[in-house]
Amino acid sequence: MMRTPITTYPLLLLLLLQQLLQPVQFQEVDTDFDSPEDKMEEFREYLEEFRRTGPTRPPTKEKVERRVIIEPGMPLYHRDYCNEEIMRKNVYHKQRCVTEHYFLLMQYDELEKICYNRFVPCKNGVRKCNRSKGLVEGVYCNLTEAFKIPRCKYKSFYRRGYVLITCAWQNEIHKLIPHTINDLVEPPKHRSFLNEDGVFVILP
């Protein structure tokens, strides 16, 4: 199979260079060093994703884990969190900025288990989503400027709530895996007061 010369994609090369030149405080210390062959294979995967004009490929465990799961590092409240992480993790769709995205501070295995939780309505009220049983910290990214890479600009919102996800069956591993992050719903805030008997009463 004939491979596409990398030099024909100067924009992607620019993005990778921008990743390498990130400020030190935004870089994570990684003790598992990838070989040059691994990096090249990942780069070819990005090329294939950008060349694709047909339907989007089904999700894979590796793709979801790479684009969604985050580890402790940059503060989740940082105003440029989304701008830095979306570029670092190459979260794009066919050379266009994604309009919204979620990063979750949790292990992938925990996210995968949510696929087997009960169904709840998605935020659009149409499709069925699976909801996490516990609260999860994360960041919601909303596109504010531009629509084509690399000029995507996002506003970052820290959230702590229940994760709503859609899942898809992956034939290769014969199990459900996370497909999309639909929402990160903050728990309802209850009002409370101290009654005449000195007991706290919580209102719905």
Q: Which of 41-45, 59-63, 125-129, 159-163 has the highest mean pLDDT?
A: 159-163
DSSP codes, 37-51: HHHHHHHHHHHHHHH
Q: Residue 193's pLDDT is what?
A: 55
Q: Residue 194's pLDDT is what?
A: 57
What's the whole-model pTM score?
0.66
Q: Residue 146's pLDDT is what?
A: 82
With CA atoms as reference, report the closest residue to 70 among 92, 46, 88.
Answer: 88
Question: Poorest-confidence range of 9-18, 21-30, 34-43, 97-106?
Answer: 21-30
Backbone phi and psi for residue 189, each to the nearest 5 degrees, phi listed first: -95, 125
Could you tell me which CATH class the domain 57-193 is placed in?
A: alpha beta
User: Could you tell me whether strands 153-170 and 175-185 are parallel, antiparallel, or unpaired per DSSP bridges?
Assistant: antiparallel
Backbone phi and psi for residue 78, each to the nearest 5 degrees, phi listed first: -60, 135
Residues 172 and 28: their CA atoms lie apart, in Å, by: 31
Instruction: Give CA 39 to chain center in angstroms.
Output: 20
Q: Where are the domains of the chain?
A: 57-193
Q: What is the pLDDT of residues 6-21, one digit of tens each?
A: 444 454 444 444 444 4
Residue of 203 and 93 predicted with greater confidence: 93
